[in-house]
A and B are shown apart, each in its own frame.
Chain A
Amino acid sequence: MHQIQLGAIDYAILIVYFAFVLGIGWVLRRSVKSSEDFFLSGRSIPTWIAGLAFLSANLGAQEVIGMAASGAKYGMMTSHFYWVGAIPAMVFVGVFMMPFYYGSRARSVPEYLRLRFDEKTRGLNAITFATMTVLSSGISMYALAKLLELVLGWNFHTSVILSAIIVLVYIFLGGLTSAIYNEVLQFFLIVLGFLPLVLLGLKDVGGWSGLKEKLEPVAIGAGYEAGAWSHSWTHLGSASANPMGVEWFGMLMGLGFVLSFGYWCTDFLVIQRAMAAESMSAARRTPLVAAIPKMLFPALVILPGMIAIALHNSRGGLLPLGSDGMPNYNLAVPVLLAHYLPSGLLGLGLTALMASFMSGMAGNVTAFNAVWTYDIYQSYIRPGQSDKHYLRMGHVATVFGIVLSVAAAYATTRFNNIMDMLQLVFAFVNAPLFATFLLGMFWRRSTGHGAFFGLLIGTAAAAVHHGLTLPHDAVPGLKGGFLGTVLHTYPSEMAQNFWTAIVAWSVCFLATIVISLLTRRTKSDDELKGLVYALTPRVTDSEQVWYRRPAALGVVVLGLTLALNILFW
């Protein structure tokens, strides 16, 4: 693609943004007095801020670039990541799980596992989680630098170092509060920066009906029915009828249940934002408040991809071709930015793009430094030190978390769609995890041995399933089939990932139950109070007005999501 030339006005917007990001860290530095201030914002964040940060921390590279890429590659079906995946899981974590996370006063998700199960389960979770966050943060950094190199001609190394330093400075100064405040700033910037792009694109293709019309030849050209790019459910009857190569059961169970609940309900990156909320009620409402903008996000991140592929098809080669002769879907957003936005708004759009990468990075780094300091350093390396000591460790952890991310950024990814690779990592590590939490929170008989070995067996099952299966058209290796024989071939990589998750979850669920029944309980009912559903007094919130009650909010959110599913059926 042609490189974009930025004008003075574009640089001015970028510089103003960076000044505010760093300024917020600078002002907040005085509010960090204890380790809980640094890692959990002193549990004082109002609901709306925690909610938008909950959303924005996840709004990294995979969302803005990956979702637009999927929108171009798979069309409207990408909405399932939101309307089947994220939203129900967010409602579940707010209504049913937050009472245990927030109520137990655990300072992190691994710490909840120690309170509920035992030390080894916490250790396993803490170490895999810390590794994964550093990896994700590195992927964000890598993707940002690669993109800036391609689109603006900026030097790769300069971009990595610059983004690393900015994120480092504002987290170092203000801790989680600084990250959360900046995430909210980034949320509004992303919405207000991308909205004009979507509006112009829609106007250009002739609105939603014009877009649907232009997507018909795309679908027919790829060998599917005319509506395959503009419906979310119609073509889910069989895997061969849609570009994702997934059928409804794999979609509902794999993405809707296992992967999404595994991510939104157990990932400390997002849970940390809710734990920082000012009260139990605020913590429970955090994911629900986040769910409302989240359900509208497809318009902002998927639609641009659909517009890009429609224009690519009808006006001849908008997207540059990759080495495999297919359009480079990951460039959908930057290409549209260059196509529609003049100097001025272009600066705003690019700033929004950079903001999305940085919020993803900062989210990972803040989650990493809390888990490292509380669950690894304080537990295994130097227990029993003063709070000052751990606060200092938090600062140090921020520095080496970023250094490790930079190292991960240089370990390049081999998949052409970032989303697919992240799904693979989530499938191995996160998919079994949700079975452990479900049994831990709702079945008092589950034991530490059951949880620990169940998790290991579940993760192993994921690896074995991946190693024995292969997506259609792929060679054995990273994409699967590495165990020698290929027992089953899936129509697509995504279908394989969904089924890996389903297998991992089911195996972990069964193994945890069997092992728990074979081992003795080590925690009495009294010790499990506040950690297990049946042993915890119900949270009563009847005196609040209805829209402040988590359950009522959850019903409203689910109703609206159902309506969206039907509208775009």
Chain B
Amino acid sequence: MTLDLRLPMGLMFTIFGALLIGFGVISNNEIYSRSLGINVNLWWGLVLLTFGLLMLGLALRAARAAR
């Protein structure tokens, strides 16, 4: 295979996570009334960031092992 899928996947979810965390920090708390008062952007952004970094880590480890 010419491309390890975990690389773009990790990158995309890392970007999503960072975007959501950033927005969660700056956004007005009023918009969270519909999500039962929870700042879901911040929390779910952390989940996505963790998943993205995990995928990136796995891809990098595999690339290093191949070399």
Contact = CB atoms under 8 A, between A and B. Distances in A.
A16 B19 contact: yes
Contacts of B9: 184-185, 188
A527 interface: no
Given A24-B3, A200-B40, A344 B51 contact: no
Contacts of A12: 19
A342 B16 contact: no
B32 A342 contact: yes
Contacts of A348: 16, 20, 44
Contacts of B8: 20, 23-24, 27, 181, 185
Contacts of B19: 9, 12-13, 16, 344
Interface string A180-213: 0100110010001000100010011000000000
Contacts of B48: 192
**Of A341, A342, A343, which is in contact with the most chain B CB atoms at under 10 Å from its CB?**
A342
Contacts of A204: 36
B31 A343 contact: yes
A31 interface: yes
A181 B38 CA distance: 34
A345 interface: yes
B1 interface: yes
Interface string B8-25: 110111011001100110
Q: Among the interface residues A45, A46, A49, A192, which one has the most CB atoms of the partner chain B within 10 A?
A: A192
A377 interface: no
Given A204-B36, A339-B34, A341-B34, A31 B2 contact: yes
Interface string A19-51: 010011001101100000000000011100100
B56 to A, nearest CB: 13
A342 B31 contact: yes
Nearest to A344: B41
Report which residue of B5, B11, B20, B38 has the largest number of chain A beta carbons within 10 angstroms of its beta carbon.
B5
Contacts of B47: 192
B8 to A, nearest CB: 6
B12 A20 contact: yes
Nearest to A278: B1
A340 interface: yes
- B-side binding surface: helix, strand, loop or mixed? helix
Contacts of A341: 34-35, 40
B36 A203 contact: yes
A442 interface: no
Interface in B33-67: 34-36, 38, 40-41, 44-45, 47-48, 51
Contacts of B11: 20
A27 B35 contact: no
B23 A27 contact: no
A17 interface: yes
Contacts of B13: 188, 192
Nearest to B44: A196
Nearest to B26: A9
A344 B24 contact: yes
A344 B40 CA distance: 9
Contacts of B38: 200
A233 to B, nearest CB: 33
Interface in A1-16: 9, 12-13, 16
A45 B3 CA distance: 11
Contacts of A13: 16, 19
Contacts of A44: 1
Interface string A154-193: 0000000000000000000000000001001100100010
Contacts of B16: 13, 16, 348
Given A20-B8, A31-B2, A343 B27 contact: yes
B2 A345 contact: no
Contacts of B23: 9, 343-344
Given A200-B35, A204-B36, A342 B41 contact: yes
Interface in A527-555: none
A348 B47 CA distance: 13
Contacts of A344: 19-20, 23-24, 27, 40-41, 45
A201 B31 CA distance: 17
B44 to A, nearest CB: 5
Among A184, A342, A344, the most chain B Cβ lie within 10 Å of the Cβ of: A344
A20 B36 CA distance: 32
A31 B4 CA distance: 13
The 4 closest A-B pairs by CB, nearest first: A344-B41, A342-B31, A31-B2, A20-B12
Given A192-B48, A341-B35, A344-B23, 7 more contacts: A28-B2, A30-B2, A196-B44, A341-B34, A344-B19, A348-B16, A348-B20
Interface of B: 1-3, 5, 8-9, 11-13, 15-16, 19-20, 23-24, 27, 31-32, 34-36, 38, 40-41, 44-45, 47-48, 51
Interface of A: 9, 12-13, 16-17, 20, 23-24, 27-28, 30-31, 44-46, 49, 181, 184-185, 188, 192, 196, 200, 203-204, 339-345, 348
20 contacts: A12-B19, A16-B12, A16-B15, A16-B19, A27-B3, A27-B8, A44-B1, A184-B5, A185-B5, A185-B12, A188-B51, A200-B38, A340-B34, A342-B31, A343-B23, A343-B27, A344-B19, A344-B20, A345-B41, A348-B20
